[in-house]
Amino acid sequence: MGRLLLVVVVLLTACAAAAAPRTASVSPSPATATPQASPTPSRSAFLAVVGGPKNSSVSLVASDGTVVATAAVDLAPFRMHALMSWTSASRTRLYYLNAGSEVRFLAPDGTSGSVTRIALGASEQAGFAVSPDDARIAVAIFSYTFAPGPPATATYDGMRLYVEDLQGGGHHVDIFSSPTVAEFPIAWTSGRLVVAVSEWGCCKTLPLNPYHPTPYHVVDPATGTRLASLCNNSPGPEGPVEPIGAMCNHPHNAATFQHWDGSPFDVSAAVGGSPTHLSALSPDGTRVAAGEEHIQIEGGGGRIRVLSQSGYVLGWLDDVRVVIQQNNTPALSVLDLSSILVSELAPGGAYLGTFPASLT
C-alpha cells in the first residue's frame, strides 16, 4: 500500500512596524527589517512508533514531534534477544507486549486495552506480528535454559511459531519449530507472513537492520510453507521493511533489491554496504537514504543529493520524510526532504517503525 501524504498549507504573515510621524527638520530613522515567521514543517499522515528507554513506554508521535498517544509498558522479566519484535502496527491500532506476554493495543485517540496473552515459561521470550486487518496474530516463542550465575549463562533450547485468531485464539495452527533456528514474525504482506531469520541472542551494537536477520522468509501463515526468501546471497537485509520489498547489504559493493515475492528490482542508487553507513530504502522503492558524515539521498533518476545534516538514517516515515538520529545525540528526529526542516521526535528511545502498518 503506497504511503499517503498529508499536506498542510502554512500561511506566513509579516508584521509591519508602524513609524512615528516626523517633522521636516528630523532625519528619518533607519529602516528596520521586517520580522519573518519561522517556517513550520507540515505533518505527515503517518505516525512514528517510538519506544522509551529499555522498552518502558511506547508512543505514537507525529512528524512535527507532537506525541499523539502514549502508554507505559511493564518490562519483560526475561529478554535475551533485544531486537525481537515486541510491537506491531495494523491499519487501526498499534499492538505491544506488556510484561513480555500480554498483548495490548494503543489507538491514536489514546485508548488502550488488553487483547490476548501469550503463554510463556520463566525463560522464554515472545515476538509477534498482527495482520493489518486485526484478525490474526503470528507468535514466535524462543526457549532457553538460564543459569543466573555469576556469571549468568544461557543456552538455546529452540523455538516454535504459531498463528491464531487475535480475538479468542481460535483457528490455532503450529506452522514451524526448530531446536536450533531462531526466527520470528515481523510483518504481513498480501496475506503472507514475513519472518526474520535471526540469532537466539542479539545485539549489543547498532545493527544494519532493526531485527538483525540474515535472510527474510515469506511464508504461508496457514501451513508455514516458504514462498520466498530474500537476501540469501548477502550478509542480510539493510534498513527496515518497506511495502516495495527489501534492500540487501553487500559490503563494499552496491546493494541489491528484492520484492516480497523474491523477484529482483533495480534502484538507481550506488550506495555500498558499510558497518557505519546505515541506509534505508524508500517506501516506493525509487530512492535510498544513507547517513553518516552527511545524509545522502540516492536514486530518482540516478541523482545523488548530499544534505548538510549528519547522522544515522533509521528509516522512512513516508515518501518525503526520513527518521534520523543525528551525530552526538540520542534524540530521534524527522528530516523533511522537501523543506529540509528537522523536527525532534523524542529526546531518546528507539524508532520502531510507522503507523499505520507499512506492509499490508
C-alpha cell at 117: 496473552
Task: Return the number of other C-beta atoms located less than 10 Å from residue 164's C-beta.
Answer: 17
- Residue 271 pLDDT class (50, 70, 90 cuts): low
The owner of cell 504482506 is: 189
What integer best gives the mean pLDDT of the chain?
86
Asked if residues 209 and 240 have their Cβ atoms less than 8 Å apart, the reply is yes
- pTM for this model (two decimals): 0.86
C-alpha–C-alpha distance, residues 46 and 82, integer Å: 25
In tens, the pLDDT along 127-179 reads 999 999 999 999 999 999 988 888 889 999 999 999 999 999 999 999 999 99
Look at residue 79 in the predicted model and tell me its pLDDT: 93
Look at residue 274 in the predicted model and tell me its pLDDT: 54
C-alpha cell at 220: 504461508
Task: Give the mean pLDDT of 107-120.
Answer: 98
Which CATH code for domain 47-355?
A: 2.130.10.10
C-alpha–C-alpha distance, residues 282 and 320, integer Å: 9
C-alpha–C-alpha distance, residues 221 and 276, integer Å: 35
The 3-class secondary structure across the chain, one letter per residue, is CCCCCCCCCCCCCECCCCCCCCCCCCCCCCCCCCCECCCCCCCCCCEEEEECHHHCEEEEECCCCCEEEEEECCCCCCCCECCCCCEEECCCCEEEEECCCEEEEECCCCCEEEEEECCCCCCEEEEEEECCCCCEEEEEEEEEEEECCCCCEEEEEEEEEEEEECCCCCCCEEEEEECCCCEEEEEEECCEEEEEECCCCECCCCCCCCCCCCCEEEECCCCCCEEEEECCCCCEEEEEEECCEEEEECECCECEEECCCCCEECCCCCCEECCCCCEEECCCCCEEEECCCCCEEEECCCEEEECCCCCEEEEEEECCEEEEECCCCCCEEEEECCCCEEEEEECCCEEEEEECCCCC
227-232: long-range contacts, CB 8 A cutoff, minimum separation 24: 227/192, 227/261, 227/262, 228/260, 228/261, 228/262, 229/262, 230/258, 230/260, 230/262, 231/256, 231/258
In tens, the pLDDT along 89-112 reads 999 999 999 999 999 999 999 999
Task: Return the number of other C-beta atoms located less than 10 Å from residue 47's C-beta.
Answer: 25
In tens, the pLDDT along 34-66 reads 455 556 678 999 999 999 998 999 999 999 999
C-alpha–C-alpha distance, residues 78 and 223, integer Å: 29
Asked if residues 160 and 138 have their Cβ atoms less than 8 Å apart, the reply is no
Q: Which of 108, 98, 32, 39 is nearest to 67 (CA)?
A: 108
Sheet of 341-346: strand order equals 312-318, 321-325, 332-336, 341-346
Break the chain into its structural domains and give their ranges.
47-355
In tens, the pLDDT along 301-342 reads 667 788 888 888 999 999 999 999 988 889 999 999 999 999
Query: Of residues 250 and 130, which shows the higher confidence score?
Result: 130
- Residue 358 pLDDT class (50, 70, 90 cuts): confident
